[in-house]
Amino acid sequence: MTSFSNLRLYDVHCHLQDSRLQADLPNILVDLKAVGVQRIVVNGTRESDWPQVLQLAATDCRIIPSIGLHPWYVKERSSVWPAKLQACLNSGTCAVGEIGLDHWIEGFDSVTQEEVFVQQLDLASTINRPVSIHCLKAWGRLLEILKAEKRPEVGFLLHSYGGPAEMVRSFADLGGYFSMSGYFAHPRKARQREVFRRVPGDRLLFETDAPDMALPVEIQEFRSSRDTNHPANIRAVYKFATELLNKPLERLATEVEANFLRLFAPCL
């Protein structure tokens, strides 16, 4: 039987810069090495945390930085945010995101969200960098925009995909990849689990979204001091996925590695 000791793991979406992880960060980085994490994408969500994300990537070669304006924070943007984002992307092999649409938050401004999203999507397309997309309750509109606008040739990620199973093929045909988080292991998330049975094997990725989206306590392998989702729980996500998808661990890990390296090729 294959063990995790000789497998290479990848976390496609997390937030190591989050203040809730800072006290534990040195130990977290050690734990990530211990469980076999080869690469981890750290996502910035607003102008104020972009420098932290880039600094983390400069100090640890496993980290791929990814920065953008999250739809929750578009109202906080400065007048010069596009130039700041452009400068950050020009300085290295940084991905774009977390960006997207969110019609779940109270008082959302769909016009502004779409304007900011399209600007960032266009920038990513121009320099061909992968995009990490957040979407809640706006899947139909997201699909319309992706069909109408330029998209990065390398593809895009639908992070913690919670959309309908019927839309998987349409997003995949446009270049979409789909990441599954351990949060979907909670009993109440049965619909999302079933959706991932429809995701093509060559478009599947895994994430922790740490420090948020924690797995059920009973399958967590690591606990942080502030009781948040520990990034090294990516190994538990892989274990959960092998059971859900009924695939041998070694085969699943090999497929996910190939998918990760293909999508993030411009950032390696």
Q: Given pLDDT bands bounded at 50, 70 and 90, which one contains residue 18?
A: very high
Q: What is the C-alpha to C-alpha distance for residues 59 and 1, in angstroms, rounded to an integer?
A: 35
- Per domain, the residue ranges of the chain are 4-267
pLDDT score at 181:
96
The verdict on domain 4-267 having CATH code 3.20.20.140 is yes
Q: For residue 118, which phi and psi values (nearest 5 degrees)?
A: -65, -40
Give 92's pLDDT tier (boundaries 50, 70, 90). confident
Asked if residue 1 has pLDDT above 50, the reply is: no
DSSP string, 122-144: HHHHHHT--EEEEEES-HHHHHH
For the ranges 113-117, 226-230, 247-251, which has the lowest average pLDDT? Answer: 226-230
User: Mind listing the pLDDT tens digit for each residue in 141-198?
Assistant: 999 999 999 999 999 999 999 999 999 999 999 999 999 999 999 999 999 999 999 9
C-alpha dist (Å) from residue 154 to 14, 36, 100, 140, 265: 20, 26, 18, 22, 8
* pLDDT value of position 227: 79
Report, as an integer, the average pLDDT of 225-239: 92
Dihedral sign, CA of 214, 220, 222, 224? positive
Question: In which band, very low, low, confident or very high, does the pLDDT at 3 lie, cut at 50, 70 and 90?
Answer: low
d(CA 18, CA 53): 9
User: What mean pLDDT comes out for the span 203-214?
Assistant: 97
Whole-angstrom distance, CA of residue 65 vs CA of residue 130? 11
Per-residue model confidence as pLDDT tens digits over 93-116: 999 999 999 999 999 999 999 999
pLDDT of residue 209: 98
Secondary structure of the chain: what % helix, strand, coil (to 5)?
50, 15, 30
Does the pTM surpass 0.85? The reply is yes
Q: pLDDT-based confidence at 223, cuts 50/70/90?
A: confident
The whole-number pLDDT of residue 180 equals: 97
